[in-house]
Amino acid sequence: MIGVGPRNNIEFYNSPLSAQGYLNDPVTLGEDRICEILREVPGTVIEVGCGAGRMYEAQGTSPSKWVGVDYAQTPLQLLAQRHPDVRVVQADAAALPFANGTFGAALLGYHMLESILPAARRRQALAEAARVVEPGGEVIVTRHLGRSYHRVGQVLAIVRRQAHEFGDLVGPARHGAGEFRMHVLGSREMAAATRLAGLVLNQTWDYRDGGPVSLRSVSVVERYSVLRGVKQ
């Protein structure tokens, strides 16, 4: 049941199999669109939950215009080996060690928000991304769509008392790397959390094929702007 044992998935993300596994994953067409946007950002981009730098490599931006943050040491070490010139910071998404408005844009990619439990910490992670981006800048988030993701699995998890709220899932992690817990955000939760963070939704597209979000979409990219004039 959720609440027993470690809740933050860091053991999974710290396993070398996981760090290398994410790096090997192909960049989707939806992520290509993210890269196009981030390449045009005049300021520096922060990627929260950057892993071993798959999206940094896909963007192909100058190392001076990108900062990677992750709470797990293993992927950061792999990133530093591959790109010694890049700035990486080990920190939790819910407590970013940067001043307000430091960056031109933030990316919370590859559905990383879903691995943050509980809900208060997810809200804090969104608020932190918005805080460290300058007003008018961009925050890009990817996530599964609650309506399409393992609906039957979620119900079963609740029935088996492995999950305490709808949207929480627990199961074997990829690459045989232990157990993984995640929360598929409902659209109401996402709307409330982004409103609190001062984020305004501008655009959405399908994470896989980069096209419009449709009933067949399993996951989505959401592009937000940081409200100007919000007290920071």
Ligand X SMILES: C[S@@+](CC[C@H](N)C(=O)[O-])C[C@H]1O[C@@H](n2cnc3c(N)ncnc32)[C@H](O)[C@@H]1O
- The interface region with ligand X, picked from 44-52, 168-176, 181-189, 219-227 by CB under 6 A, is 44-52
Nearer to ligand X, 91 or 158 (CB): 91
Q: What are the helix (H) ranges across 54-186?
A: 54-59, 73-82, 119-132, 151-159
> Shortest distance, CB of residue 62 to ligand X, whole angstroms?
19
Name which of 116 and 221 has its Cβ closer to ligand X: 116
- Applying CB under 6 A, which part among 43-51, 59-67, 144-152, 205-213 lies near ligand X? 43-51
132 binds ligand X (CB under 6 A): no
- Exactly one of 30, 104, 109, 137 binds ligand X (CB under 6 A); which one? 109
Window 13 to 32, contacts with ligand X (CB under 6 A): 13, 22
Type of residue numbered 60: G
Residue 34 binds ligand X (CB under 6 A): no
Give the separation between CA 230 and CA 207, rounded to whole angstroms: 29
Whose CA is closest to 31, among 223, 202, 180?
223
3-class state of residue 232 by DSSP? coil
Nearest residue (CB) to ligand X, 142 versus 162:
142
Check residue 205 for interaction with ligand X (CB under 6 A).
Answer: no
Please give the distance of CA 156 from its chain centroid, rounded to a whole number: 26
Residues 6+ apart with CB under 8 A from 182: 9, 114, 115, 117, 168, 169, 170
Site for ligand X in 67-86 (CB under 6 A): 70-72, 75
Please report whether residue 92 would count as binding ligand X according to CB under 6 A.
yes
Nearest-CA neighbor of 129 among 50, 24, 208, 65? 50
Total of residues contacting ligand X (CB under 6 A): 18
Give whole-number Cα distances, 21 to 15, 51, 99, 170, in Å: 10, 10, 32, 20
Name which position in 78, 93, 105, 129 contacts ligand X (CB under 6 A). 93
Strand partners, 68: 47, 88
Q: Which residues form the interface with ligand X (CB under 6 A)?
A: 13, 22, 49-51, 54-55, 70-72, 75, 92-93, 109-110, 112, 115-116
